[in-house]
Structure 1
Amino acid sequence: MISDYAARLLVAEPGFFKESGCAHSYLEDDPVPEEVATLLARACFVLIKPDALLSGKAGQIFEFLESFGLQIVDSFLVQKPQEWHFEELYKYNLTLMNSQNQISVWWLNRQIYTYGPSLAAVLVAPENGPSAVDLVARIKGPSTPRLCKPEHLRWRFHATNSALNLFHASDGPISSWREWAIFRSKADRIAALMSVLQTDRALNPWHSLAAGFEHSKESFEFYSTLISVKLRALAAACRSLGPLADKLERIYLEALGRKANNPTQEVQLIDRLLTAESKALELINRKSIEFNYSVKLILALNKIPIKTPNGIDDLFRIIKCSDVHLNTRESMVLSTSIRYMTDNRRDQFSR
């Protein structure tokens, strides 16, 4: 005997997707089999995004999820991400009829999913408790990291902004079934859910999948990335200043040469940068250097605009003018941080 909620899944809840601007239910084309409907009601599809996987955080994220009693019944690498995978994943957000539509930012957000592999999984919650969808929603916290609290996944693992926020989760059992279907056949989905009923089932392979990336340490942190780019731009600008160049570079390398690994250290980086700015300006004034293009560029690059709404955008343009090449990761981190400006303010790290 299946539960009332599972029974509603079987009839596809025809109004479910209307709120997202779609006039029919996906389940009319891919109905949920009765034998897994009850299990699906407890399940949630999740995706560890490339920024989490390539910064070596996937294993810790899964362990954090399991600490709440969530059981991982399927996990797999999206090894060669295709743009259509994620257009399908977010297609009910890519509409003007949905207040959370991503149309205007999809050119940027799609870069995140195609930048590298993702690690997908399906979680099932224990019986007689909240569903996995409700539990994961409570665990992950808001999409905007600065609104998260220390107990949230996106705070704990230091998400960068509303796009580079480590983690995607479906918002209901039907969404989970539909999003899972983008990457897995129906037979594989049924088998994974049915494995919950097997006491001698094989261990899920997420450990080995995540372990393959545990030594990957790409940085998707905004300030660390910005400082790395600024150092290259400053070095390029200083070259035309002769003997002064070495002294200026030493000032910045001493202040900013150490990488930040957590929010507290990033605040310290900003403080060291402000000190370096003062020293550089004092040195330039003391040497009575003519305020040519290079000096103006250095002074412009000095500033990390943490208070003005247009400051980061202005600085991004200055960096481009300094003839410094941005790699794909740097461009993505800076571009998303500019777009989601509210995530970049210092109060994100001041709690």
Structure 2
Amino acid sequence: MTTDSSLGTAATSEILHDIPPALVRTVTRSAAKERLYAVDNYFRESSWLFGNDLDDVLRTTLCVLKPEAAAGRRYHQALEALSDNGFRPVDVVRFRHDRLTVRETWRFQLNFASRERIDAMDLVLGTCDSVMLVLRDERWTPDSVPASVRLTALKGPSDPAQRLPGHLRSRLGAVNGLFNFTHTSDEPIDVMREIAIVCDEERRQLLRTRVRAAFDAVPEALAAFEALEAEVPAHDLDLDNSLRRLAASPGPAGEMVRAAAGRPIPVHLIAAAIRAGADGPGAHWDLLSLLTNTLRFNEPGIGRIFPNVLLASWQNAPAVTA
């Protein structure tokens, strides 16, 4: 029988985490994130690692180049656009999303996503490896907004009508809501949390060392790009071209498209064809193109757990540096 008096104290304690409140306030401008992330173990793990290096956290951000960036050959465009805006890779992590990492990365955003969208995310993000660029903002100063906030503003809005030519999504030619080539972390708190989702303890230690040393990871990024482009066939990611190719295919995916005769194809049938490998590997990206242009993105009437933190939130309340 145990006599450890500490057992069960968490149930009655008002203290729910061990992260210094000043640290949390330094890396977010969202009161909801303060509450939710402080008891999220991914953020806790990063806080143990980076808690004494908050200037490094504020000048660092993440840009994940997703599988469609390999098929669409957007890697070099993305690296050039990031460089033009003062962001330089100091580490590169190649990884494969799975069901768990998809749900953990977007844990607080999927509450309003449709079932179709979540299923499509699994299919797209699981197709091949993603490349996470750990970026140093060469323009960051202690009185400026964090690197993650500046890059998110640079990425541009999801609505194409609101984008400017200089936005990252414009430069890369985002195709639709899922074929947009990049994922970026909104705030420093998201940078910390997402590093811990993707990287285990040993890899986080290396990442921290490289961030602190301002390591030059450009050669590693170029090598990762070359390797993935050798593995993933180039694709135009164009819906009309995909439909023409599928309609000419003699297999079951082609039969599905021909039978539709221009009418909408139920999303679950497209997803099933992808999972079955219908018409072989050559049809995979054509089917993904059809899927991502067909699905319903969000559930109507469901609100966000917390609103997006915009650039103005940080400009009006600058971070307190470590």
TM range (shorter): 0.5 to 0.7
CA–CA distance in structure 1, aligned partners of residues 186 and 69 of structure 2: 20
- After superposition, give the CA deviation of every residue in 1:162-207 in whole Å (9 maximum; x if it has no partner): 01211111111111111111222345435434434437x4544111
In structure 2, do the counterparts of structure 1 residues 207 and 140 end up closer, same or farther at CA, with 3 Å as the change threshold? same
Pairing of 1:213-232 with structure 2 (within 5 A): 213-214=228-229, 216-232=233-249
Q: Does 1:76 align with 2:93?
A: yes
1:57 alignment partner in structure 2: 74
Extract unaligned runs of 5+ from structure 1.
Answer: 1-5, 238-296, 304-310, 342-351
* Amino acid aligned to 1:40: V
CA–CA distance in structure 2, aligned partners of residues 69 and 61 of structure 1: 13
1:115 alignment partner in structure 2: 127
Indicate the SS of the match to 2:53. helix
In structure 2, do the counterparts of structure 1 residues 148 and 224 end up closer, same or farther at CA, with 3 Å as the change threshold? farther
Which of 282, 287, 294 is the aligned partner of 1:331? Answer: 287
Superposed displacement of residue 34, structure 1: 3.3
CA–CA distance in structure 2, aligned partners of residues 12 and 133 of structure 1: 10
1:306 alignment partner in structure 2: none
Given that residues 156 and 164 in structure 2 are in contact (C-alpha distance below 8 angstroms), is that contact kept between their aligned partners in structure 1? yes
- After superposition, give the CA deviation of every residue in 1:240-267 in whole Å (9 maximum; x if it has no partner): xxxxxxxxxxxxxxxxxxxxxxxxxxxx
CA–CA distance in structure 1, aligned partners of residues 216 and 55 of structure 2: 22
Single out whichever of 221-230 and 61-70 deviates more from structure 2. Answer: 221-230
Which of 43, 47, 52 is the aligned partner of 1:35? Answer: 52
CA–CA distance in structure 1, aligned partners of residues 91 and 131 of structure 2: 11
Higher helix fraction (1 or 2): 1
1:131 alignment partner in structure 2: 146
Which of 39, 44, 49 is the aligned partner of 2:61? Answer: 44
1:287 alignment partner in structure 2: none
CA–CA distance in structure 2, aligned partners of residues 35 and 173 of structure 1: 14
Given that residues 77 and 120 in structure 1 are in contact (C-alpha distance below 8 angstroms), is that contact kept between their aligned partners in structure 2? yes
Superposed displacement of residue 340, structure 1: 5.1
CA–CA distance in structure 2, aligned partners of residues 23 and 178 of structure 1: 10
CA–CA distance in structure 2, aligned partners of residues 36 and 118 of structure 1: 27
Indicate the SS of the match to 1:115. coil
1:307 alignment partner in structure 2: none
Given that residues 162 and 340 in structure 1 are in contact (C-alpha distance below 8 angstroms), is that contact kept between their aligned partners in structure 2? no
TM-score between the two structures when normalised by the length of structure 1? 0.61
Aligned pair count reads 257
Pairing of 1:1-351 with structure 2 (within 5 A): 7-9=22-24, 15-17=31-33, 24-26=39-41, 27-32=43-48, 33-78=50-95, 80-95=96-111, 100-101=112-113, 105-126=117-138, 127-128=140-141, 129-145=144-160, 147-198=162-213, 201-204=215-218, 205-214=220-229, 216-232=233-249, 301=261, 312-313=264-265, 325=279, 327-339=283-295
CA–CA distance in structure 2, aligned partners of residues 36 and 142 of structure 1: 31
Given that residues 72 and 123 in structure 1 are in contact (C-alpha distance below 8 angstroms), is that contact kept between their aligned partners in structure 2? yes
Superposed displacement of residue 155, structure 1: 2.4
1:285 alignment partner in structure 2: none
In structure 2, do the counterparts of structure 1 residues 232 and 11 end up closer, same or farther at CA, with 3 Å as the change threshold? closer
- After superposition, give the CA deviation of every residue in 1:202-242 in whole Å (9 maximum; x if it has no partner): 54411111122346412322222122223447xx99xxxxx
- After superposition, give the CA deviation of every residue in 1:10-41 in whole Å (9 maximum; x if it has no partner): 8887944378x778344345424333221112
Given that residues 116 and 295 in structure 2 are in contact (C-alpha distance below 8 angstroms), is that contact kept between their aligned partners in structure 1? no
CA–CA distance in structure 1, aligned partners of residues 296 and 115 of structure 2: 15
Extract unaligned runs of 5+ from structure 2.
Answer: 1-20, 273-277, 298-322
Q: CA RMSD in A?
A: 3.9
- After superposition, give the CA deviation of every residue in 1:273-332 in whole Å (9 maximum; x if it has no partner): xxxxxxxxxxxxxxxxxxxxxxxx79x84x6xxxxxxx5448998xx9xxx958332222
TM-score between the two structures when normalised by the length of structure 2? 0.66
